[in-house]
């Protein structure tokens, strides 16, 4: 996947309240601008999230059982071997055109992903076993 800064910016344009923290319902002020800039400057995390989410099975309807963006965060972090922002996950979902639902006054989204997706199941199993994710570093870049 050859993703560019322009891809990230397009995703951010589709959700004007999107920051590195998730979706902000307060879209002005210094904190908002700083968090929005932090997301815009983080192309690597956006790429990692796109790669991870592209391995998940999309479905047509929002599935709260598969988890929200924040509950998927530790799965992606374990796979990536680094901190990942909630906003990078949301930007990746928008870019990949995964249907999602926002919630008033929440920075998180729910996605249309199958909770039977083998990749999500395997990720949760590895986290429960506290063994991390079996991924070579070159798979993540």
Tens-digit pLDDT profile for the chain (141 aa)?
A: 689 999 999 999 999 999 999 998 888 888 999 999 999 999 999 999 999 999 998 999 998 887 789 989 988 998 899 999 999 999 999 999 999 999 888 999 999 998 777 767 666 666 666 555 444 334 444
Q: Is 8 in contact with 50 (CB distance < 8 Å)?
A: no
Calpha distance 103→116 (Å, rounded): 24
The CA distances from residue 72 to 10, 25, 28, 30, 52, in Å, are 22, 21, 27, 28, 10
Question: Which residues, listed in sequence order, are joined to residue 58 by a DSSP beta bridge?
Answer: 113
């Amino acid at each position: 996947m050859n993703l560019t800064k322009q891809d990230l910016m397009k995703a951010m344009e589709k959700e004007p309240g999107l920051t590195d923290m998730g979706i902000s319902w307060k879209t002005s002020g210094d904190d908002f601008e700083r968090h929005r800039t932090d997301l815009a400057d983080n192309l690597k995390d956006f790429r990692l999230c796109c790669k991870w989410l592209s391995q998940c099975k999309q479905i047509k309807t929002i599935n709260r059982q598969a988890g929200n963006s924040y509950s998927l965060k530790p799965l992606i972090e374990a796979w990536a071997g680094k901190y990942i922002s909630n906003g990078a996950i949301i930007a990746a979902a928008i870019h990949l055109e995964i249907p999602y639902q926002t919630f008033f006054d929440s920075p998180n989204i729910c996605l249309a992903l199958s909770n039977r997706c083998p990749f999500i199941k395997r990720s949760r199993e590895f986290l429960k076993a506290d063994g991390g994710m079996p991924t070579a570093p070159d798979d993540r870049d």
